[in-house]
Amino acid sequence: MLFGLLYFITGTIGQIPPGYYDPAIGKTGTELQAALHNIIKNHTVKSYDYIWTGFHTTDDKPDGTVWDMYSDIPGGTPPYVFHFGSDQCGNYNGEGDCYNREHSWPKSWFNEQPPMISDMLHIYPTDGFVNGKRNNYPYGTVSTASWTSENGSKLGTCSWPGYTGVVFEPIDGYKGDFARTYFYMSTRYYTEDAGWKVTEMTNKSQLKPWALQMMLSWASEDPVSTKETDRNNTLYGIQNNRNPFIDHPEYANLIWGYPVGVDETTAQDHTVTVYPNPVWDQCQVDLPADIKDKNYQLMLISATGTNISQKYLQIGKTNGNTLTLNLQSLPKGIYFLTLTGDVRSWHGKLVKE
């Protein structure tokens, strides 16, 4: 888990207009997705050319250079940097030549139609050469890469269960960014995707089961960062809408707690069991049988979307497949628990009394 990028949402709650998400309160599943769609639809549409100007304030690093997720190395030194304007593509022959406008949700998937073509909540400045390598391939995980960028992004055959075609894998530090971007697209254009294509990763605006499971895992492993929150706030001033999954990460689990297209028995396999529930001082969690060698990560999220794992989650002893959690200092309330293994996530809800 990339704790260096962790950002607690409560620090920016004041940036969200009062009552903005009130219509979503108490809803789950498609009812919640529809409510969020109604909140963020009809955004202010900018021209495609405007995106170059918008990047100056939406995707600028603290030092004023371009924040390119295909070349940056969080917490390290990137192999090269771009400067706004002077390094704008143009032609390119290799990495580091210039940056362009990357539709993280490829524009061919919605037939390059407005308003998606200029919706900056899914468009990022990225290295032109790496963008070209990514092409229109889905995002995915790669075991053996056919090509690797200078920051470690990969192109190769998908290793995530459910798909075996060619995919592009961004580095771990930005996987959550792209996952929450995809959740935004599936919600902003929910029921407005008649002209969209069915692809290897998507059924029009909705993620296919393998991709949904992967994106839920990515979002859990790479929590919301200050970069995402600052960008969301800036874009609200430009487009007059927000990415709800940055403001409230728990919405993803409340809508898509299990991959779509599975029967009830299979869906139950993706639920983590917590008992007793409500919880007082401690509780037990039944670890799924297919977590190998206890290789997992556990995250506790408050109802307001704050990752509070480090502050309140104390992991006790494991007895067989039962894990003990000490929650004595946890304030009363409703919380979401995410358990992430190598290729799958499990989700549960607990109530602290």
Q: Render 239-275 in DSSP notation, one character per residue.
A: HS---HHHH-THHHHHH-SS-TT--HHHHHTTB-EEE
| 171 and 282 together in one domain | no
Residue 81 lies in a domain: yes
122-143 residue pLDDT tens:
999 999 999 999 999 999 999 9
What is the pLDDT at residue 304?
A: 52
- Within a domain: residue 245? yes
Range of the domain at 209: 9-255
Note whether 130 and 182 are same-domain residues.
Answer: yes
Residue 351 in tokens? 């109530």
Give the pLDDT mean for 256-285.
Answer: 65
- Give a yes or no: residue 115 inside a domain: yes
Q: Are residues 64 and 180 in the same domain?
A: yes
- Give 3-state DSSP helix, strand, coil % of the chain, rounded to 5: 35, 20, 45
Based on the fold, state whether residues 108 and 13 are members of the same structural domain. Answer: yes
Helix spans in 11-139 (H): 29-40, 50-58, 128-134
Chosen domain end from 204, 231, 255 = 255
Question: How many domains does the chain fold into?
Answer: 2
So what's the pLDDT on residue 339?
Answer: 74
Indicate whether 261 belongs to any domain. no
314 vs 149, more confident = 149
Cα dihedral 188, 192, 197, 201, rounded to 10, equals 30
Average pLDDT, the chain: 87
Summarised one tens digit per residue, pLDDT across range 214-232 is 999 899 889 999 999 999 9
If asked whether residues 213 and 165 sit together in one domain, one would say: yes
At residue 63, the 3 state secondary structure works out as: coil
The answer on 38 and 145 residing in a single domain is yes
Instruction: Check whether residue 232 and residue 97 sit in a common domain.
Output: yes
> Is the same domain home to 222 and 296?
no
pTM confidence score: 0.73
Q: For residues 337 and 286, is the Cβ–Cβ distance under 8 A?
A: no
Mean pLDDT of 5-22: 60
Question: Residue 6: its pLDDT value, please?
Answer: 32
Does residue 54 fall inside a structural domain? yes
| Cα–Cα distance, 213 to 38 (Å, whole number) | 25
CATH number at residue 336: 2.60.40.10
At 212, list the tokens: 């949904």
